[in-house]
Amino acid sequence: MNTQTANRFNEIYAKYYDYVLHYLQSKVAMREIAEDLTQDTFLKIAENCEYFNPQKASLKTWVFNYANNTLTDYYRTDKSSKNTYVDGYVGEDGKETFELASEYNQGGVEEREIYRAIRRTMRKTLTPQEQKIANLYFLQNLKYKEIVDVLDISMGTVKGLVNRIKVKMQKKLMPLYV
């Protein structure tokens, strides 16, 4: 790795390390695993840093793709139990809201069933674009601005779609859990 590439990698690492770690923590049960996956992600980025082409994708999208591919590799090779859990609560508007829990807990069958129902409802109810935004906003906990950067769409579009997704999902899920 030449000096220019090493400097570029250091900039990428400094700018995106926390973002990648947070994303991976939202996908795996233990922080240690997320840290290992983040390390693996940046090793891959270091090996391929010179191949980044800003005309094909933004830097953030490029980094996110490496993180996502590393996560996919992990799930393909790790045979241990991987569960994602769902929290339900009543929001300020009086409506029950469901969100995927980002922390590991000792949930059981009921939580897995709720998660499956939410994922199934997302697939059946939301358009492909809405599914992408739902994944970024609700599962990866990205802010509106980050979604705008990743998907290269306007802020108004993101805000409108997030609101539409909330309404659609609550309408479909409410009968299941009342």
pLDDT at 99 exceeding the cut of 90: no
Task: Supply the CATH classification number for the domain 3-77.
Answer: 1.10.1740.10
**85-177 shares the fold of 3-77:** no
For 108, phi then psi, to 5°, come to -130, -145
What integer pLDDT is reported at residue 36 of this predicted model? 92
Q: Which residues contact 130 (CB under 8 A, 6 or more apart)?
A: 161, 164, 165, 168
Percent of the chain scored above 90 by pLDDT? 22
For 134, phi then psi, to 5°, come to -60, -40
pTM of the model: 0.47
User: Which is more confidently placed, 133 or 92?
Assistant: 133
Domain at 85-177, CATH from 1.10.10.10, 1.10.3720.10, 3.40.50.740, 2.40.10.10: 1.10.10.10
As a whole number, the mean pLDDT across the chain is 78
User: Which is more confidently placed, 117 or 134?
Assistant: 134
User: Which is more confidently placed, 141 or 104?
Assistant: 141
Q: What is the pLDDT of residues 74-97, one digit of tens each?
A: 877 754 444 444 444 445 555 555
Q: In the chain, where are the structural domains located?
A: 3-77, 85-177
Q: What is the pLDDT of residues 15-53, one digit of tens each?
A: 999 999 988 888 876 888 889 999 999 999 999 988 888
What integer pLDDT is reported at residue 40 of this predicted model? 94
What integer pLDDT is reported at residue 86 of this predicted model? 45
Cβ–Cβ under 8 Å, residues 88 and 96: yes
Least confident of 43-47, 61-65, 70-74, 116-120: 116-120
Q: Rounded to whole angstroms, how far apart are CA atoms 100 and 27?
A: 10
